[in-house]
């Protein structure tokens, strides 16, 4: 699912950091990041990036799900990727974009010569 360039970047990170225990991201003491620490790190990174938006883990999750949907990934796959038990749960993450609505072709157009 990851593009090879991103996978290569993660491999380089892993090669040099070699976190113990084997966690992709951990505290300097080798413990898993708590949700609040990850949220603060993301807020700092979004502020430093100059994008002018506050970015949260939930926003990234929502954007991920929306991007999958816009790329025509089926709902069941999105459900599995997000780890939801019910397909209804993913409705809070998926929105229909304005471009998707604009791209819909009305079946009534077939009636007009």
Q: Is the whole-model pTM more than 0.75?
A: no
Q: What's residue 91's pLDDT?
A: 78
Mean pLDDT, residues 90-112: 75
Q: Are 101 and 74 in contact (CB under 8 A)?
A: no
Cβ neighbours of residue 90 under 8 Å, at least 6 residues apart?
65, 75, 78, 79, 82, 84
Q: What's residue 97's pLDDT?
A: 67
E strand or H helix that includes residue 75:
helix 75-82
Cβ neighbours of residue 7 under 8 Å, at least 6 residues apart?
none
Tens-place pLDDT, residues 23-74: 777 888 888 888 999 899 999 999 999 999 889 998 888 888 888 888 888 8
pLDDT surpasses 80 at 100? no
């Amino acid at each position: 699912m990851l593009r090879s360039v991103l996978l290569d970047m993660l491999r380089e990170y892993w090669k040099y950091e070699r976190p113990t225990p084997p966690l992709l991201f951990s505290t300097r003491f080798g413990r898993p990041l708590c949700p609040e620490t990850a949220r603060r790190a993301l807020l700092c990174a979004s502020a430093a990036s100059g994008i002018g938006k506050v970015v949260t883990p939930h926003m990234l999750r929502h954007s991920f799900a929306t991007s999958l949907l816009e790329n025509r990934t089926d709902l069941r796959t999105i459900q599995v990727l997000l780890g939801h038990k019910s397909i209804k749960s993913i409705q809070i993450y998926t929105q229909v974009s304005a471009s998707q609505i604009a791209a819909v072709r009305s079946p009534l157009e077939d009636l007009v010569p």
